[in-house]
């Protein structure tokens, strides 16, 4: 599914994306994430509360093979990435809130992701290399820290790094469509419908639940749309990185199916949702 | 800062450059943190080159007008200082003007050259229909930013924002103009000093257009002496500004006289690092500047301070090096000032001035700040209140504010009637209604023409706006008098709600608690936003338009 060359390329891409993410952060952001209970609570519940539960529910209902189930679980436990910020920007949502949620979720991810994974893997009786996942998350902190250091040293280098990180996030999806899809065409044609259902539903249901949740909190429609996108859109490259770095090469390919398919479909779903939101936002103005 | 006051604007630039040479003077900071910096000596060298370009290459004469229509960016000080050094007259043009507004101003000022940012250049063909400006110099927001970030900014502007279109006009790029000047003459510094020797300090340095909130624009002629005097007066009013190295935030547009004199001139003289924000809206655009630079001072208007204190990221990490902030340009609402002081834990000093007065007339002293007052008169400035017949009123009485001082303009450009109408017995009439208290603090009550007459009583819209703004859940409020069918003025409030559940009844109930009966708005109109000038002033005249235009959708 994923060749060694692609693995290497992915590793480099992840490195640059994480470097870019680091360049968008300051140490203060981490302290703030803990100090702002309200924003934190919303981000926390929608991203780490609902999404993993949606993942678990999908696995329980559709009963896919173990690798698909593990891929789903990992994908569901990811924070949002720069893609969600981009779609929020396009949908004329609350960019500040989107960035705050991404930053909070990513900062807390180091602790929360392994905890969630252990808990849900036990519930579903799945075997996951927990130690490796923790090690990977810590390893990924290196480029993040480096990015933060770059920004601190020189704001221009930081901003340029951040730009390339974000641009590569977009390129990652193009890369998937252009190289991965054609070469795995036969495989994609034979993939079980349940796998497709999971890949599509995870993001779609996430966006709907996030929206209803925000509505329930009586948030401004502007913010509700932002939270919807932020909840449903997960950090696909991060999931792939965790899988590639944590599982033995012989096991990882089938696990990457869900993150890869999810990343493809979330772009289509988000584009549709963004157009819908954009119309709603513009109508209001 | 050297203590001897410079004798011309050209000299102000030169002596600051000699004193602070290689320290950063201006840093433009974009929303994503990309930035570029010019040191004091670079600003000096570049503005010398620009002066040479104007005088030697374009062969302009002293007194020729040169218009500048550039958002806050590194080109602004280079162009403005270059024009001063060339002894030409700087005409600041609001970058957000429509082509017809530009046309009016160009027709009045008849500039010989224009420095314009590429993002606005598409308005030029129409703007020049009445007066054709022979020399157009085009610059960009990313001018003087290092190569790679500059390329990225250009890429984003071209393909993402689509904000840069080809300039539909013969022009020269600013960098090429500077290069041409360097080619034409190597000894630029001594030549420019030669221009300066011929300066008359009473010559007009700047044509500053005003009337944006009232109607037809008039150009206030501010002389070298006016601006220099106001720089010294302002520095004297707040001596602590000079006590440490300052890093200041300029989010107000520099074409505006307050930012021009205080942010640009005063702080250049002090050797401060000036962080320039090309576009402060949305306010998140300011986040990186606050994160990346230890801002010690900033200026703003009510709308900016109000907006920032409502931003989550700002509340979370208010600038910790901020010593104090300065408000001008429009009345500060007490509720906003108090919230700002509470969020930033630093004082907000309100000042007062007009375009015609270079602009600062009064300022609150740092250690004796009074919220609700615009402070005490600056040195060499006399302030009094006069009645409708022009008679001086005793202390404590309310009337039109009239002023004298070295910062008062020479007059309006080619407009003797308006000039005569605005002066009386040597006093400049501000058009503001105010009152001096026993301690000499000035309180501005309202614009004279905005006063609403209800059954013979004077109603000051600002007072009602202040009252509404103190109600929790109200984001912004503006009040105007609207004539009904019997030609009586009706107090009408426009309100932007933060808490959308507030009703008209609850607002009226609140007003009844705090205001006399005749001041209570008869009509409340809820809106999503209020019309504002580029500086962020709420435009009351546009509120009148909203009411009269039939196409306005009901809110």
- Summarised one tens digit per residue, pLDDT across range B283-339 is 989 999 999 999 999 999 888 999 999 887 898 889 999 999 999 777 788 889 999
Cross-chain CB nearest to A32 (options B148, B287, B316): B316
The share of chain B scoring above pLDDT 70, in percent, equals 96
pLDDT value of position B101:
83
Pair B189, B54 in one domain:
yes
Average pLDDT over residues B2-9: 80
Pair B407, B494 in one domain:
no
- Beta carbons of B155 and B11 less than 8 angstroms apart: no
Which chain A residues have a beta carbon less than 8 Å from that of B311?
Answer: 96
pLDDT value of position B150:
92
Confidence of residue B21 (pLDDT cuts 50, 70, 90): very high
Pair B62, B175 in one domain:
yes
Q: Domain boundary at B414, B448, B482, which?
A: B448
pLDDT value of position B552:
42
CB contact under 8 A, B152 and A95: no
Is the Cβ of B526 closer than 8 Å to some Cβ of chain A?
no
CB contact under 8 A, B291 and A26: yes
SS3 B530: coil
Separation in Å, CA of A13 to nearest CA in chain B: 20
Q: How many CB pairs below 8 A link A and B?
A: 53
Output helix, strand, coil percentages for chain B, rounded to the nearest 5.
40, 25, 35
Smallest Cα–Cα separation from B54: which of B18, B21, B87, B103?
Answer: B87
Which chain B residues have a beta carbon less than 8 Å from that of A162?
Answer: 32-33
Pair B416, B443 in one domain:
yes
Which chain A residues have a beta carbon less than 8 Å from that of B32?
Answer: 159, 162-163
CB contact under 8 A, A158 and B33: yes
**Exposed / middle / buried, residue A37 (Cβ in 10 Å: 0-12, 13-18, 19+):** exposed
pLDDT value of position A285:
44
Quick check: is B320 in a domain? no
Confidence of residue B534 (pLDDT cuts 50, 70, 90): confident
Cross-chain CB nearest to A159 (options B34, B312, B317): B34
C-alpha to C-alpha distance for B12 and B231, rounded to whole angstroms: 10
CB contact under 8 A, A163 and B152: yes
Residues of chain A with pLDDT under 50: 285
Average pLDDT over residues B352-360: 93
Q: Which CATH number do you get for residue B505?
A: 3.30.300.30
Sheet with B376-377, strands from edge to edge, namely B35-39, B24-29, B273-276, B247-250, B297-300, B324-327, B348-353, B360-363, B376-377
Quick check: is B525 in a domain? yes
Separation in Å, CA of B430 to nearest CA in chain A: 37
Quick check: is B225 in a domain? no
pLDDT tens, position by position, B180-192: 998 887 677 888 8
Sheet with B65-69, strands from edge to edge, namely B172-173, B135-139, B113-117, B65-69, B89-92, B204-210, B218-223, B411-412
Is the Cβ of B244 closer than 8 Å to some Cβ of chain A?
no
Is the Cβ of A196 closer than 8 Å to some Cβ of chain B?
no
Which positions 10-39 of B are in contact with A (Cβ < 8 Å)? Answer: 29-30, 32-36
Q: Domain boundary at B417, B448, B479, which?
A: B448
SS3 B257: helix
Q: Which CATH number do you get for residue B113?
A: 3.40.50.980
pLDDT tens, position by position, B384-408: 999 988 899 999 999 999 999 999 9
Is the Cβ of A170 closer than 8 Å to some Cβ of chain B?
no
Is the Cβ of A154 closer than 8 Å to some Cβ of chain B?
no
Quick check: is B416 in a domain? yes
Confidence of residue B554 (pLDDT cuts 50, 70, 90): very low
Domains detected in chain A: 4-276 (1.20.1530.20)
Q: Domain boundary at B199, B215, B246, which?
A: B199
Pair B440, B462 in one domain:
no
Separation in Å, CA of B29 to nearest CA in chain A: 10
Average pLDDT over residues B122-151: 93
Confidence of residue B549 (pLDDT cuts 50, 70, 90): low
Pair B444, B464 in one domain:
no
Is the Cβ of B294 closer than 8 Å to some Cβ of chain A?
no
Helix (H) or strand (E) holding B353: strand B348-353
Quick check: is B234 in a domain? no
Is the Cβ of A167 closer than 8 Å to some Cβ of chain B?
no
The β-bridge partners of B36 are B28
Q: In this structure, is the dihedral angle defined by the CA atoms of residues B418, B361, B73 and A21, taken in order, positive or negative?
A: negative
Pair B60, B126 in one domain:
yes
Quick check: is B506 in a domain? yes
Average pLDDT over residues B224-251: 91
Quick check: is B281 in a domain? no
Helix (H) or strand (E) holding B249: strand B247-250
Kindly calculate the radius of gyration of chain A based on its CA atoms and give it in whole angstroms.
Answer: 18
The pTM (predicted TM-score) of the whole model is 0.82
Pair B388, B525 in one domain:
no
pLDDT value of position A188:
80
Pair B396, B481 in one domain:
no
Q: Which domain holds residue B476?
A: 451-548
Query: How many domains does chain B contain in total?
Result: 3
pLDDT value of position B271:
95
C-alpha to C-alpha distance for B508 and B166, rounded to whole angstroms: 53
Smallest Cα–Cα separation from A252: which of A17, A116, A64, A70?
Answer: A70
**Exposed / middle / buried, residue A273 (Cβ in 10 Å: 0-12, 13-18, 19+):** buried
Could you tell me the two tokens for A136? Answer: 């990977």
SS3 B278: coil
Which positions 31-50 of A are in contact with B (Cβ < 8 Å)? Answer: 32, 35-36, 39
Which chain A residues have a beta carbon less than 8 Å from that of B500?
Answer: 220
Structure ipTM: 0.73
Q: Which CATH number do you get for residue B442?
A: 2.30.38.10
Q: Which of A276-280, B212-216, B279-283, B354-358 has the highest mean pLDDT?
A: B354-358
- The three-state DSSP-derived secondary structure of chain A is CCCHHHHHHHHHHHHHHHHHHHHCCCHHHHHHHHHCHHHHHHHHHHHHHHHHHHHHHHHHHHCCCHHHHHHHHHHHCCCCCHHHHHHHHHCCCCHHHHHHHHHHHHHHHHHHHHHHHHHHHHHHCCCCCHHHHHHHHHHHHHHHHHHHHHHHHCHHHHHHHHHHHHHHHHHHHHHHHHHHHHHCHHHHHHCCHHHHHHHHHHHHHHHHHHHHHHHHCCCCHHHHHHHHHHHHCCCHHHHHHHHHHHCCCCCHHHHHHHHHHHHHHHHHHHHHHHHHHHHHHHHHC
Pair B50, B152 in one domain:
yes
Pair B388, B518 in one domain:
no
Which chain B residues have a beta carbon less than 8 Å from that of A96?
Answer: 284, 287, 311-313
pLDDT value of position B213:
44
For B161, name the nearest residue in chain A, comparing CA atoms only: A90
pLDDT value of position A1:
55
Quick check: is B209 in a domain? no
Pair B483, B429 in one domain:
no
Could you tell me the two tokens for B192? Answer: 């420019």
pLDDT tens, position by position, B70-112: 999 999 999 999 999 999 999 999 888 888 888 989 999 999 9
């Amino acid at each position: 599914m994923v060749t060694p060359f692609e693995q290497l390329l992915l590793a480099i891409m992840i490195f640059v994306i994480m470097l870019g993410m680091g360049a968008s952060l300051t140490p203060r952001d981490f302290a703030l994430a803990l100090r702002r209970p309200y924003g934190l609570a919303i981000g926390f519940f929608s991203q780490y509360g609902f999404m993993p539960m949606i993942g678990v529910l999908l696995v329980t209902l559709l009963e896919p093979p173990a690798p698909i189930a593990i891929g789903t679980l990992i994908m569901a436990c990811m924070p949002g990435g720069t893609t969600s910020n981009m779609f929020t920007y396009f949908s004329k949502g609350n960019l500040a809130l989107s960035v705050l949620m991404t930053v909070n979720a990513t900062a807390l991810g180091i602790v929360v992701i392994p905890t969630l994974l252990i808990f849900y893997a036990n519930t579903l009786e799945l075997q996951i290399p927990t130690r490796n996942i923790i090690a990977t998350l810590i390893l990924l902190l290196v480029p993040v820290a480096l990015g933060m250091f770059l920004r601190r040293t020189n704001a221009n280098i930081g901003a340029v790094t951040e730009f390339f990180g974000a641009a590569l996030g977009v390129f990652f999806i193009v890369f998937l469509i252009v190289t991965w899809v054609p070469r795995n065409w036969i495989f994609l044609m034979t993939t079980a419908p349940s796998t497709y259902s999971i890949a599509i539903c995870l993001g779609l249901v996430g966006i709907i639940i996030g929206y209803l949740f925000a509505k329930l909190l009586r948030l401004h429609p502007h913010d509700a749309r932002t939270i919807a996108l932020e909840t449903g859109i997960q950090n696909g490259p991060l999931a792939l990185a965790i899988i590639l770095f944590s599982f033995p090469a012989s096991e990882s390919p089938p696990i990457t199916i869900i993150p890869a398919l999810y990343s493809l479909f979330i772009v289509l779903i988000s584009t549709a949702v963004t157009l819908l939101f954009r119309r709603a936002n513009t109508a209001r103005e | 800062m050297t203590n001897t006051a410079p004798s011309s604007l050209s000299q102000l630039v030169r002596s600051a450059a000699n004193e602070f040479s290689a320290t950063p003077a201006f840093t433009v900071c974009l929303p994503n943190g990309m930035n570029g910096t010019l040191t004091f000596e670079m600003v000096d060298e570049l503005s010398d080159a620009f002066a040479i370009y104007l005088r030697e290459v374009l062969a302009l004469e002293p007194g020729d007008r040169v218009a500048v229509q550039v958002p806050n960016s590194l080109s602004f000080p280079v162009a403005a200082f270059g024009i001063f050094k060339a002894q030409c007259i700087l005409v600041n043009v609001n970058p957000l003007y429509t082509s017809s507004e530009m046309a009016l101003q160009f027709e009045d000022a008849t500039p010989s050259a224009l420095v314009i940012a590429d993002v606005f250049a598409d308005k030029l063909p129409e703007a020049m229909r009445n007066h054709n400006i022979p020399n157009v110099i085009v610059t960009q927001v990313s001018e003087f930013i290092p190569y790679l970030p500059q390329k990225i900014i250009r890429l984003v502007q071209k393909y993402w924002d689509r904000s840069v279109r080809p300039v539909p006009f013969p022009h020269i790029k600013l960098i090429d103009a500077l290069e041409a000047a360097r080619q034409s003459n190597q000894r630029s510094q001594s030549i420019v000093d030669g221009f300066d020797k011929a300066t008359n300090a009473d010559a007009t340095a700047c044509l500053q257009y005003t009337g944006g909130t009232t109607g037809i624009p008039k150009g206030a002629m501010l002389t070298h002496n006016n601006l220099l005097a106001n720089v010294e007066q302002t520095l004297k009013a707040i001596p602590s500004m000079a006590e440490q190295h300052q890093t200041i935030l300029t989010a107000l547009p520099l074409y505006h006289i307050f930012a021009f004199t205080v942010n640009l001139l005063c702080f250049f003289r002090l050797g401060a690092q000036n962080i320039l924000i090309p576009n402060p809206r949305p306010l998140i655009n300011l986040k990186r500047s606050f994160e990346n630079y230890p801002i010690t001072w900033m200026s703003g208007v009510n709308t900016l301070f109000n907006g920032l204190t409502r931003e989550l990221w700002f509340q979370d990490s208010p600038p910790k090096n901020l010593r104090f902030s300065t408000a001008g340009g429009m009345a500060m609402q007490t509720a906003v000032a108090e919230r700002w002081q509470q969020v930033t834990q630093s004082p907000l000093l309100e000042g007062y001035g007009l375009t015609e007065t270079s602009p600062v007339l009064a300022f609150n002293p740092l250690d004796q700040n009074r919220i609700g007052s615009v402070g005490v008169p600056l040195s060499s400035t006399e302030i009094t209140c006069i009645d409708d017949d022009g008679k001086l009123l005793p202390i404590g009485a309310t009337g039109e504010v009239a002023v004298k001082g070295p910062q008062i303009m020479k007059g309006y450009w080619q407009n003797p009637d308006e000039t005569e109408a605005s002066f009386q017995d040597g006093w400049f009439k501000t058009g503001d209604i105010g009152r001096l208290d026993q301690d000499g603090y000035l309180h501005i009550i309202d614009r004279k023409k905005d006063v609403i007459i209800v059954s013979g009583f004077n109603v000051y819209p600002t007072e009602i706006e202040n009252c509404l703004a103190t109600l929790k859940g109200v984001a912004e409020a503006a009040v105007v008098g609207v004539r009904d069918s019997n030609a009586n003025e009706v107090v009408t409030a426009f309100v932007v709600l933060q808490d959308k559940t507030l009703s008209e009844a609850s607002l009226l109930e609140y007003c009844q608690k705090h205001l006399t009966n005749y001041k209570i708005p008869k009509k409340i109109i809820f809106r999503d936003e209020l019309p504002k000038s580029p500086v962020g002033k709420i435009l009351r005249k546009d509120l009148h338009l909203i009411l009269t235009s039939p196409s306005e959708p009901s809110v």
